[in-house]
């Protein structure tokens, strides 16, 4: 059976065709952006557009359905500065073969860590204290990536949390 092509229209009136196999019949839920509930006021670590949110999605590389995206993707030109979302200590600053590519992990208070993946340049070293808003690297497309973007995660221990609920 062929998947149909669907004509879609945006709120501003633009029209385009979408392959029906990738269209969900469910409306996307709005993420909880009230950082007051988490007690954190992190900054968004790079300027750009959020192209993939936290939660279930179709994997853009493997095309597998219902894969869980542990963070958000911020599309930006290669070389765009990436800043620490919150102060802490750099616990990892290296290339990983598991998909993140060049990755920086910063440990914060309350067992919270932030992950910054697919970097083109890493500007910090493991063990270094880092202030909120300080340069840690630059946007790239290293690892399992379809183009230049920052993959940004927030974790408590091993549990991935929605980064948008931590930023102001």
Instruction: Calculate the CA 118 to chain-centre distance.
Output: 10
- pLDDT tens for residues 75-129? 999 999 999 999 999 999 999 988 899 999 999 999 999 999 999 999 999 999 9
> Can you tell me the distance from the alpha carbon of 100 to that of 168, in angstroms, rounded to the nearest whole number?
25
Q: How many CB atoms lie within 10 A of CB 27?
A: 6
Q: How many CA atoms lie within 13 A of 73 on its CB side?
A: 20
- Please give the model's pTM, rounded to 2 decimal places: 0.76
Domains in the chain (CATH in brackets) are 34-165 (2.70.70.10)
- pLDDT tens for residues 18-51? 555 444 444 444 444 444 457 899 999 999 999 8
> Can you tell me the distance from the alpha carbon of 78 to that of 56, in angstroms, rounded to the nearest whole number?
26
Longest dimension (CA), the chain: 56
Please name the residue that has the structure tokens 């970097």: 119
């Amino acid at each position: 059976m062929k998947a149909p092509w669907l004509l879609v229209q945006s709120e501003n009136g633009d029209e385009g065709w979408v392959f029906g196999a990738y269209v969900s019949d469910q409306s996307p839920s709005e993420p909880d952006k009230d950082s007051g509930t988490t007690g954190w006021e992190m900054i968004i670590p790079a300027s750009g557009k959020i192209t993939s949110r936290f939660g279930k999605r179709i994997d853009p590389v493997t095309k597998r359905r219902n894969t869980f995206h542990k963070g958000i993707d911020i599309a930006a030109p290669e070389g765009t500065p990436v800043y620490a979302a919150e102060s802490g200590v750099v616990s990892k600053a290296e290339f990983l073969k598991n998909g993140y590519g060049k990755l920086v992990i910063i440990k914060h208070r309350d067992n919270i860590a932030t992950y910054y993946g697919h970097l083109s340049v890493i500007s910090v070293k493991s063990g270094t204290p880092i202030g909120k808003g300080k340069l840690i690297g630059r946007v790239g497309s290293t690892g399992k990536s379809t183009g230049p973007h920052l993959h940004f995660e927030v974790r408590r221990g091993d549990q991935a949390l929605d980064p948008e609920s931590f930023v102001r």
